[in-house]
Structure 1
Amino acid sequence: MLHIRLPGFAIKILYGAVFIFFLAFTFTLPVSVQARKHRNYINTQHPVGTVVKASGPCFNNSDRYVDCGNGTVTDTVTRLIWLKKADCLEATDWATANYKAAEIKSGDCNLSDNSSPGDWRLPTKDEVTALLPPSNLNCTNPTLVDQEGSGCFAQGTQWATGIQFNYWSSTTGPYQEAGNSAWAIFLNFGGVINTSKPSLVYGWPVRGTP
């Protein structure tokens, strides 16, 4: 039988390597187990592929406009959800206003509604027109109803902040002018006017129907 006699220094090196391997295995195993446990915990709480939907409308038994407490207000007549912070989007041209509205998400504009980019949009001409109060109320500056829907915004409970005097709709102008004009609401006198798209007008986003 062949016997190999290693020098003393070689034996020490061999023992040292075995010891280092043992230490590495001892400390790596618990860390790996803990990492695996942590990974499983994360996956349990936030499964891959989970889609978080934006909060829906809210209602009560007395108001037309109901503050949902998450930066949004529900119009219980049209079922639209409006941004409570009506001055979040600055005055821009029509195309930019559409892009900016579509980019809004939870965390912007005082929102905590779980909304994502693409949830918000500019309202249509019909939707902004529905904001206007009945003529018999004689509301002025702004021409909006209050939270209850029975009085004028300026004198009643106000359901939005930062109201500006004009806002874009997403609806383009009459057929022959559709390429360069769109409808905008003017709350200083209560009219919906065909407006040149390059004009600087504010945006007041909504989400919901249609």
Structure 2
Amino acid sequence: MQQAAQEIGQRVNKALDEYQGQPPIRGVTDKPTKAKADELEPPKGNELPGAAIKRMPQHKVACFKKNDKGTAQEYDRQLEGQMEGLNNMSVKQYLENRDAFKKIGRKGTGKAQKEARKKFKEKLIAQYEEALLNSGESFGDEAIKQAKQLANKDMKTLHALHNPDMVAGGVDEVVELGDAGVNQSIGAQWNNNGIDDSGMKTTLSRVEIMDVEAKKALSTLGPDAKLNMNLHRCK
């Protein structure tokens, strides 16, 4: 069993990569937009080929402090995913999603996360079972039982990710899975005040300042202007 677990390690990472390339799971609060640049729908309106895309001036969000869970690479990966998701949104979409979250929070959500976790767990079980059979360690019902045990252990460390988090303007849509500790750390810091480039503590939370900047862009550039947020880890 231990040998099979070691052999499947790289397969788990591969499964994660494959999962991240799948279409997002639709939730109940809004229609999702795909977060990956290479998965975007054909350009429309101001985004027709050759047309300039209006984008707000870049806003550098106060850095996110890494906790002691997960790697720096995973922290950067999750921040990059959230940044891509934000910057694919218009200021109008962002502000509408933020208003909706303030009114209803996470009420009625969760279906997308459950469906995403279920599908990924099924993939892990199948890969663990194959590895156990190939190694000759287990067969039949015993292989299935052990595969489920290994998959359950892995799933305890993974969260379904929103890009961006719902509190930061995202919708109930899952585009990938990632380290749970890292996801919780990032999510907890949106509503906290951060440290700006001058080393001073901000007077508003990270997401409140993002709201201010988005409203400025709405008034000067119009509702279709794209966000331009810079998310980064404290170093």
Task: Tell me whether the two structures share a fold, i.e. TM-score over 0.5.
Answer: no
Larger fraction in strand: 1
Larger fraction in helix: 2
TM-score normalised to the size of structure 1? 0.24
Query: Highest CA radius of gyration, 1 or 2?
Result: 1
TM-score normalised to the size of structure 2? 0.22
Larger relative contact order (Cα-Cα within 8 Å, sequence gap ≥ 6): 2
